[in-house]
Structure 1
Amino acid sequence: MVKIIHFAIALSIPLLGCNVDPPPPSTGGVQVGDGGGGGGGDGGEADGGGGGSEPEACGRGVVIVTSDYQSTNIAISALDGTTLSPSFVSSGAAKPGLSLALSGDVDVPATAPASGRVVLIDRYGTNVLTWMDLETAEVIAQLPVGQGFESNPHDYIEVGEERAFVSRFGSNPAPGAEPFDEGGDLLVLDTKKYTIEGRIALPEEDEALLPCPSGMTRVGDDVVLSLDRLAADFSRQGEGRFVGVSPEQNAVAWTVDIQGLYSCGRVAVSPSGDRLAVACSSRFDADAMKFDPATSDIVIYDARSTPPRELKRLGVARKLDAGIQPSLAFASEDVLLAKTYGGNASAGDTVFSANITTGDVTPLGEATQPFVLGGVRCSPGCGDVCLLSDAEKNKLRRWKVTANGALEPMEDVTVDTEIGLPPRSIGGL
């Protein structure tokens, strides 16, 4: 068992450098009534939430990471993108209550934690989880999940009132010095004691590859986990794969291989729960700065079968001559919000909608640079607004989803009005 760090008094973090203006103080927590209803379900990057009249499954809003990759600020927003607390906590705040300071590489869980806590995933170089109280913005606990190596935690999902999984992308080349130091796995956490209680090993039959687990979502009784399958030196990559993990058995229950496609992201779930969508971006050619559309696509699955059964491939990468970014969201039962990477047909990233029934692709916007369009999130049935983080514009782009599935543009929103960092990713709340 790994000991947790608890906090009763907020600790100061010294600022780096001289003659630097201190950052503004935290703008504080959000009362449940301010953010909307309670609870928090998962809609495959489409959690709900919003006004008090919305159903409980809608959740309470979203958590937005703003960052320049050197420092990080966390904002809390409503489901429609309206900012509720522009600086809930930041890496440079004078009194954040953090014993282990936030780095510039922080993410938040895609699935809203059922506990109602704000959970921060501090990745490479820090390897720490932080739990915070939404209403008071106080740190509840922090838990190191590195165990002596760069575990690079990627996602967190609560699977019971006192249990959670965290995916560790990194693998330890020399395990055995500490408990739970293998990596490339799912850690099983006790979220009452804030301790590591166990680990779930992940399958990889190719000895040259590591599993590299990343995004998770809940599908029925199982947690669906995407595997990046990379060589330790990134020289090789396996085809796309996701697995179903049983929280009851603490074991992998089934495996789905995505033949011919690579670098596949977190599985998104349709509002009905009947269909899944996975976006694969292809093997990236770093020398040419290009993605291969032949090994990139969006794949639709029938979630009613176990394991999920492939229904169709949309062929959007070839249509757009670009690699499809691995994060996407269901805007409605038939329409997806997705993005391409810049570098092929376009100098910059693009955003589009795709109708999975008709195959129609509708351009929604573009950037002038690659790698600037980030997190996407939609709230079907809970306000019907889609959000996209745009680091180039330093805005949240927004669309209203109409009754026929069209996405109508809304006014962009500035998220971080205190420090000014651009939005990068969006998580559930």
Structure 2
Amino acid sequence: MSRTRLTLALILALTAHAAACDGDVGPGFDAFVDASCVVAAINTDYVSTSVSLLRADGSLCAPAVITSGSRPPGVTTALSGDVVLPTEPSPDGLLVLIDRYPAAVLTLVTPESGEVVRQLGVGTGYPSNPHDVLFVAPDRAWVTRYDRNPTPTATPDDLDDGGDVLVIDPATGALVERIDLAPWASPGMEPRPDRLGWAGDKVWVTLGNLAPRFNDGGPGVVVALDPATGAFAGRTELAGLASCGGTLAVPPGGGGAWVSCTGVFQRGDTPQLEASGVVWVARDADGAPVEGFRVQAGDVGPGRPFGHPLLALTSDRAVVVVLGTLDGEPDALWLVDRGAGTVTPLGVETDAYSLGALLRADAGGLLVADANRQHPKLRRFTLADGSLTEAAAVITDPVIGLEPRSLARFR
């Protein structure tokens, strides 16, 4: 999330009434963490955070296994209100929490016990704002550092520049090297590296490609890197679209990834809408990204920008959030079908700036984080023939009442 969007959400959270937990905590709740607990939910009001564990169908395993108020052994930096989950799980089944700005800390947790195994600082002397982690080898993890250091040292080997992929040893926390992404940003823009994902034998990283003050942006960029060496392996620009860093959704079977571009909020309504779209980025024979399909936000019904939350159902179909407005227009889910060339509403709406992460559940289900200020919950659906049927919702944080915003499988 950009700082502007984060600030807006924080204002909304601070002015809201306390969330009411007016329903059952969800079917199957037994507060026992076992192998069926495979999904993590980050609940946050952008001031404090709690982490709950869910089963693959969205039912609650354990609420608040770790919170901003937790002080278990191994914690030197308490969780802030800006915590997210990595796109891909860790290979050893640990729960990885990315504490972004200003903490710049990765917290690795044993899900069965809530024990903090270790905390890894990735700030190198400044608030680097890490956005994603990808484990590329047993002794190597890549971390996207969204922010650049405004006052780096002149010494290149201290790895304090930012705007890069930082390579670390996750077992020890040792900093190994950095992959500079500034060469792939537009002139006058910062790279703002964001999401990481596998594309065959290459790793793709999205770049926000935004101005230092977030008031302008170049075209969306997807860069391919060699996971063994970090060497550049290809790049594509999404001409005419901006602020495309927050999504890299690889479908089952791979072949490429879906990317959602919000446009730049500070440009104003019309320029933002014109620069918002959803793109299928295909993988060529060498693993490099190449644009294969796009739909512009201004060409579909609501006439509002797309958000970053997006779920890749297949290489042909994706579910995406259309953003609401503070004037009363709701957030909504839409289905993009590139095979049919259609974009259709799914009939799911909630307050503006409330729809968060989307996650595939068991048996073709869909989990939707709904941070509605009055009734925060995890909404559960089955998707068939292009329509959604809603099942019982789940309160993901019955202990504190925080809103669910981030969802991901951790094993």
Normalised TM-score (structure 1): 0.81
With over 3 angstroms needed to count, the CA separation of the structure-2 counterparts of 1:167 and 1:369, relative to structure 1, is same
171, 192, 196: which one aligns with 2:175: 196
Q: State yes or no: 1:79 paired with 2:72.
A: no
> Following the alignment from structure 2 to structure 1, what is the Cα–Cα distance between the partners of residues 107 and 31?
16
Q: State yes or no: 1:363 paired with 2:345.
A: yes
Unaligned 5+ runs, structure 2: 1-29
- 1:262-277 to structure 2, matched below 5 A, reads 262-264=242-244, 265-277=246-258
Q: State yes or no: 1:224 paired with 2:201.
A: no
Match of 2:91 in 1: 114
Match of 1:164 in 2: 141
With over 3 angstroms needed to count, the CA separation of the structure-2 counterparts of 1:139 and 1:291, relative to structure 1, is farther
Match of 2:24 in 1: none
User: Alpha-carbon deviations, 1:311-333, whole Å to 9, x = none?
Assistant: 22134542130100122112345
Q: State yes or no: 1:409 paired with 2:386.
A: no
8 A contact 1:217–1:266 mirrored in 2:
no
> Following the alignment from structure 2 to structure 1, what is the Cα–Cα distance between the partners of residues 147 and 74?
28
- 1:294-333 to structure 2, matched below 5 A, reads 294-305=274-285, 306-319=287-300, 320-333=302-315
With over 3 angstroms needed to count, the CA separation of the structure-2 counterparts of 1:238 and 1:308, relative to structure 1, is same
Task: Please say which of residues 300-309 and 388-397 is displaced more in the overlay.
Answer: 300-309
Deviation, 1:346, is: 6.1
Match of 1:233 in 2: 213
Deviation, 1:164, is: 0.6
With over 3 angstroms needed to count, the CA separation of the structure-2 counterparts of 1:293 and 1:346, relative to structure 1, is farther
8 A contact 2:72–2:116 mirrored in 1:
no
168, 177, 187: which one aligns with 2:166: 187
141, 147, 165: which one aligns with 2:118: 141
8 A contact 2:52–2:396 mirrored in 1:
yes
Aligned to 2:306, the other structure's residue is in SS state coil
8 A contact 2:319–2:335 mirrored in 1:
yes
Deviation, 1:194, is: 2.2
User: Alpha-carbon deviations, 1:359-401, whole Å to 9, x = none?
Assistant: 333323454532111111114xx52211111100301122213
- What amino acid is aligned across from residue 278 of structure 2 in structure 1? I
> Following the alignment from structure 1 to structure 2, what is the Cα–Cα distance between the partners of residues 301 and 206?
19
Q: State yes or no: 1:102 paired with 2:113.
A: no
> Following the alignment from structure 2 to structure 1, what is the Cα–Cα distance between the partners of residues 211 and 48?
29
Match of 1:280 in 2: 261
With over 3 angstroms needed to count, the CA separation of the structure-2 counterparts of 1:399 and 1:315, relative to structure 1, is same
User: Alpha-carbon deviations, 1:110-165, whole Å to 9, x = none?
Assistant: 21212211011111121111111122210111111111112011111111122110
Q: State yes or no: 1:349 paired with 2:328.
A: no
Number of matched pairs: 373
> Following the alignment from structure 1 to structure 2, what is the Cα–Cα distance between the partners of residues 277 and 335?
9
Aligned to 1:269, the other structure's residue is in SS state coil
8 A contact 1:378–1:384 mirrored in 2:
yes
User: Alpha-carbon deviations, 1:4-53, whole Å to 9, x = none?
Assistant: xxxxxxxxxxxxxxxxxxxxxxx987222x32xxxxxxxxxxxxxxxxxx
Deviation, 1:410, is: 2.0
User: Alpha-carbon deviations, 1:252-280, whole Å to 9, x = none?
Assistant: 22111100001113221222212421111
> Following the alignment from structure 2 to structure 1, what is the Cα–Cα distance between the partners of residues 363 and 66?
27
With over 3 angstroms needed to count, the CA separation of the structure-2 counterparts of 1:97 and 1:192, relative to structure 1, is closer
Task: Please say which of residues 353-362 and 259-268 is displaced more in the overlay.
Answer: 353-362
With over 3 angstroms needed to count, the CA separation of the structure-2 counterparts of 1:296 and 1:274, relative to structure 1, is same
8 A contact 1:316–1:361 mirrored in 2:
no
57, 62, 67: which one aligns with 2:39: 62
Task: Please say which of residues 325-334 and 143-152 is displaced more in the overlay.
Answer: 325-334
- What amino acid is aligned across from residue 376 of structure 1 in structure 2? L
Unaligned 5+ runs, structure 1: 1-26, 36-60
- What amino acid is aligned across from residue 238 of structure 2 in structure 1? I
Match of 1:31 in 2: 34
Match of 1:54 in 2: none
> Following the alignment from structure 2 to structure 1, what is the Cα–Cα distance between the partners of residues 296 and 150?
38
Match of 1:245 in 2: 225
- What amino acid is aligned across from residue 33 of structure 2 in structure 1? V
Task: Please say which of residues 195-204 and 296-305 is displaced more in the overlay.
Answer: 296-305
Task: Please say which of residues 246-255 and 123-132 is displaced more in the overlay.
Answer: 246-255
> Following the alignment from structure 1 to structure 2, what is the Cα–Cα distance between the partners of residues 368 and 112?
29
With over 3 angstroms needed to count, the CA separation of the structure-2 counterparts of 1:263 and 1:346, relative to structure 1, is farther
> Following the alignment from structure 1 to structure 2, what is the Cα–Cα distance between the partners of residues 348 and 290?
18
Aligned to 2:274, the other structure's residue is in SS state helix
Task: Please say which of residues 276-285 and 125-134 is displaced more in the overlay.
Answer: 276-285
> Following the alignment from structure 2 to structure 1, what is the Cα–Cα distance between the partners of residues 261 and 326?
16
> Following the alignment from structure 2 to structure 1, what is the Cα–Cα distance between the partners of residues 364 and 151?
48
CA RMSD of aligned residues (A): 2.3
